[in-house]
């Protein structure tokens, strides 16, 4: 049997390179003929290239180099360890080979800032929606990645730790020079580079040290970070050292092992789900280990905590009780010795290969999403069924594949005037950002913007109004000189607007999707639809609104709040258009006719739940409430009116809660779009206990 392994990061000591090397050893031991194709040729060490069963070839990342390897070597299967660098392999159909994507982890976009976040976001979109579905198998290192990918047929292969020798190398004196005896040594391990402080958790490490010092002023703690310096890491290293965290860079494997063995605790502050190999290694050496409950950490470490204060409390307990510390160390050691072995990892890979090869011989091999004939026929047949259903009910639309499911692009048979209504009081910057995003990104042109001006005092804001009306003929400003009441203000604005369709929009939103209006309008044009809501994203790239679920938190809550932006969600609910009981009026489209039919917003609900009440009245009138993930906006929530943080606001909020429970109590307890076996305490669709 012949295998080609593609890896961009093949440097000795890196996690990706280590996994690839262990697989090479395992495949050779199982009598496979292996070819390694990598741009990192100078860093390939430790292999006898005279071995006739192993070839190592230096290649570039372009299509021609990759295809030449495939043609010349004629493999039975390929494994791509760094798919973002070799995405074109997934689409090579002219060579009969099984293609496996080995997902070793990428920091997801919400762990980044600025332009780097956009780059990672683009990579993830392509990876999980375009590249991976064309592979025959998706293998990953954690349940977190498996869940995030949305591929039900993904398999998880946990890395091993038994590549580390358990004995010290006799360099304890060198370790003592770094951390003097009597000090409680807390060690972390990470590469240090520019832009990595956020997802590697260096800020968390600094904060933890401060809180420990405050809680135990007489405690003797040494914080030690072991790792290699990457590009731009000097500034990060300097900041850590300024906060009395010692940094050792470019430490060899022997010294790293001795440092870990002589540490009192290994702590992983990393927020990166793929950064679990150091955790496994430390536990294998018998070091008590703790981690934050993010990504894969709960799977690889028995002691994991959700907050910095919880971590601090555990460290204090370990510091004060040596017996407890030894017990934790033994628990960690037993945990990884029983499960995290390279022979297990390789055995799982071999079993997967044999299964895929057997299925191919029986003609039963499918890709994850399907581009083989049998599954293609199934996809075409399902699309036909949906199209025939549309014809039966008199709707016209195109059925397309989307996120392992289907999406209907309804025909937009008219281009009505749409009034975008935005309440505003002060907050010039937020309003400018909101209006600019509408003007610059919207591809739909027949709209007006109606700003409800409510008792602002900032002259710069009024200057902006004047300039805005000069530049934009489709903008008007309506003065509303009363104490703020969201329902009353919007009802008044509707009376002073012209559109047949209305979009209620918060001033702290920002358009992301160019076709956001079209995506909502195509649904709202349907006669049976009363309101359409959008997918709203926090600035940190997590979900703010995926629709409203009744009963969450007592009255109603937002679906999937806090999930990663591109997560498919529970049962793919973040990736498909769906009916719901309610959507938020932070971005809500409705028909003027329908709005007037149910009496607009309820002015007894000045701030909270007026959108939920409005949607429930629409449903009572026989209309559907629809949420779409294909209209995305950022929502900088609470930047305008603030939170419920005064006695007056809390009293008003309590009255509105009481009103909703008195009026809609039975409905709130029985949301038809939410499984009664799921929790009402959280917004994550977990099991109700």
Mean pLDDT across the chain:
86
546 within 8 A of 635, measured Cβ to Cβ = no
Residues whose CB is less than 8 angstroms from the CB of residue 483 and which lie 6 or more positions away in sequence, other chains included: none
What backbone phi and psi angles, to 5 degrees, belong to 595? -60, -45
Domains of the chain from N-terminus onward: 2-156 (3.40.50.11930), 172-340 (3.40.50.2000), 373-408 (no CATH), 412-668 (3.90.550.10)
Q: Pick the residue with more confidence: 297 or 156? A: 156
Distance CA 316, CA 498 (A): 65
DSSP 554-567: GSEEETTTTSBTT-
Q: Over the stretch 117-155, which tens digit does the pLDDT of each residue have?
A: 777 777 777 777 777 878 888 898 887 788 777 777 788
199 has a pLDDT exceeding 80:
no
pTM: 0.54
The listed range with the strongest mean pLDDT (156-160, 467-471, 594-598) is 594-598
Rounded average pLDDT over 170-179: 70
Query: Which residue, among 582, 663, 593, has the nearest Cα to 615 in the 3D structure?
Result: 582
Phi, psi of 548 (to 5 degrees): -110, 135
Give 197's pLDDT tier (boundaries 50, 70, 90).
low
- What's the rounded Cα separation, in Å, for the pair 25 and 62? 27
Q: What confidence score (pLDDT) does residue 524 get? A: 97
Backbone angles phi, psi at 139, to 5 degrees: -110, 135
Q: Quickly tell me which residue has 């025959």 as its tokens.
A: 136
Question: Which residue from 582, 633, 592, 381 is spatially nearest to 490, judged by alpha carbons?
Answer: 592
Q: Specify the higher pLDDT residue, 519 or 54.
A: 519
At residue 452, the 3 state secondary structure works out as strand
- Which of 106-120, 122-136, 237-251 shows the lowest per-residue confidence on average (mean pLDDT)? 106-120
pLDDT at 273: 62
Does residue 541 surpass a pLDDT of 80? yes
If one compares 360 and 470, the residue with the highest pLDDT of the two is 470
Closest CA to 299 of 105, 9, 152, 561: 105
Residue 641 has pLDDT above 60, yes or no: no
Region 155-183: mean pLDDT is 78
Q: In which band, very low, low, confident or very high, does the pLDDT at 371 lie, cut at 50, 70 and 90?
A: very low
Better-predicted residue by pLDDT, 494 or 126: 494
pLDDT of 111 reads 60
- Highest mean pLDDT out of 35-39, 545-549, 559-563, 668-672: 545-549
Please give the angle made by the CA atoms of 347, 140 and 368, to the nearest 5 degrees: 100
Model confidence at 472: pLDDT above 80: yes
Q: Are strands 501-505 and 587-591 parallel, antiparallel or unpaired?
A: antiparallel
Q: Is the pLDDT of residue 438 over 60?
A: yes
Quick: pLDDT tens for 496-515: 999 999 999 999 999 999 99
Contact, 533 vs 524, CB < 8 A? no
pLDDT at 45: 43
Q: In the structure encoding, which two tokens stand for residue 348, read together?
A: 């799982």
pLDDT of residue 109: 61
Q: List, in sequence order, the alpha helices (H) in 248-396.
A: 253-261, 277-284, 297-300, 308-320, 322-339, 342-361, 373-392
Joined together, the tokens standing for residue 116 give 């780097």
What does the pLDDT read at residue 585?
96
Q: What's the confidence (pLDDT) of residue 311?
A: 92
Q: Flag whether pLDDT at 411 surpasses 80.
A: yes
Residue 352 contacts residue 153 (beta carbons within 8 Å): no
HSE-CB for 203 with a 13 A CA cutoff: 7
- Least confidently predicted of 214-218, 255-259, 376-380, 422-426: 376-380
Asked whether the predicted pLDDT for residue 619 surpasses 90, the reply is yes
Range of weakest confidence among 354-358, 413-417, 558-562? 354-358
In this prediction, residues 572-598 reach a mean pLDDT of 96
């Amino acid at each position: 049997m012949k295998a080609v392994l593609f890896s961009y990061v093949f440097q000795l000591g890196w996690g990706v390179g280590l996994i690839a090397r262990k697989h090479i050893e395992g495949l050779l031991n199982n009598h496979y003929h292996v070819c390694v194709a990598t741009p990192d040729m100078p860093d390939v060490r430790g292999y006898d290239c005279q071995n006739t069963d192993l070839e190592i070839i230096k290649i570039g990342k372009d299509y021609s180099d990759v295809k030449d390897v495939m043609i010349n070597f004629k493999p039975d299967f390929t494994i791509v360890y760094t798919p973002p660098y070799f995405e074109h392999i997934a689409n090579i159909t002219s060579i009969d080979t099984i293609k496996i994507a080995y997902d070793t982890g990428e920091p997801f976009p919400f762990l980044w800032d600025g332009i780097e976040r956009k780059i990672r976001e683009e990579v993830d979109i392509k990876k999980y929606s375009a590249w991976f579905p064309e592979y025959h198998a998706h293998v990953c290192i954690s349940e977190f990645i498996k869940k995030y990918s949305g591929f039900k047929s993904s398999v998880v292969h946990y890395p091993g730790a038994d590549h580390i020798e358990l004995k010290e190398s006799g360099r304890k004196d060198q370790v003592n020079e770094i951390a003097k005896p009597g000090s409680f040594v807390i060690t972390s391990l990470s590469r240090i580079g520019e832009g990595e402080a956020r997802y590697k958790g260096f800020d968390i490490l600094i904060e933890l040290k401060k809180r420990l010092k405050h809680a135990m002023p007489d405690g003797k703690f040494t914080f030690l970070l072991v790792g290699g310096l990457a590009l731009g890491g000097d500034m990060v290293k300097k900041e850590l050292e300024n906060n009395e965290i010692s940094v050792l860079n470019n430490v060899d494997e022997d010294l790293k092992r001795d440092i870990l063995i002589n540490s009192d605790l290994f702590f992983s502050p990393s927020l990166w789900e793929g950064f679990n190999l150091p955790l496994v290694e430390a536990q294998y050496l018998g070091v008590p280990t703790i981690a934050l409950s993010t990504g894969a950490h709960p799977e690889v470490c028995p002691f994991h905590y959700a907050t910095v204060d919880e971590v601090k409390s555990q460290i204090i307990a370990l510091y004060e009780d040596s017996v407890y510390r030894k017990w934790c160390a033994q628990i960690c050691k037993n945990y990884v010795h029983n499960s995290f072995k390279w022979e297990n990892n390789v055995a799982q890979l071999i079993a997967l290969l044999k299964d895929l090869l057997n299925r191919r011989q029986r003609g039963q091999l499918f890709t994850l999403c399907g581009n083989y004939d049998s599954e293609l026929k199934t996809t075409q047949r399902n699309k036909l069924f949906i199209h025939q259903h549309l014809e039966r009910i008199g709707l016209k639309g195109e059925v397309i594949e989307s996120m392992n499911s289907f999406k209907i692009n309804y025909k937009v048979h008219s281009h009505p005037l749409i009034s975008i209504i935005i309440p505003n009081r002060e907050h010039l910057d937020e309003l400018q950002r909101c209006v600019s995003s509408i003007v610059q990104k919207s591809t739909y042109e027949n709209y007006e913007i109606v700003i409800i001006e409510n008792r602002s005092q900032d002259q710069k804001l009024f200057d902006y109004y004047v300039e805005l009306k000069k530049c934009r003929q489709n903008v008007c400003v309506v003065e509303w000189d009363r104490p703020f009441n969201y329902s009353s203000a919007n009802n008044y604005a509707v009376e002073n607007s012209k559109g047949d369709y209305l979009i209620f929009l918060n001033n702290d939103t920002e358009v992301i999707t160019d076709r956001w209006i079209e995506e909502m309008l195509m649904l709202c044009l349907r006669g049976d639809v009363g309101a359409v809501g959008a997918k709203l994203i926090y600035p940190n790239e997590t979900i703010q609104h995926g629709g409203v679920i009744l009963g969450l938190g007592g009255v109603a809550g937002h679906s999937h709040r806090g999930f990663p932006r591109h997560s498919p969600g529970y049962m793919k609910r973040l990736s498909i258009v769906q009916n719901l009981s309610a959507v938020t009026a932070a971005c809500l489209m409705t028909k003027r006719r329908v709005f007037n039919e149910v009496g607009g917003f309820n002015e007894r609900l000045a701030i909270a739940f007026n959108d939920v009440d409005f949607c429930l009245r629409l449903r009572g009138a026989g209309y559907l409430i629809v949420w779409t993930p294909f209209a995305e906006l950022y929502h900088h929530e609470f930047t305008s009116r603030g939170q419920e943080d005064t006695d007056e606001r809390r009293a008003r909020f309590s009255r509105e809660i009481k009103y909703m429970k008195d009026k809609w109590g039975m409905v709130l307890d029985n949301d038809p779009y939410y499984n009664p076996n799921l929790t009402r305490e959280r917004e994550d669709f977990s099991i109700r206990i």
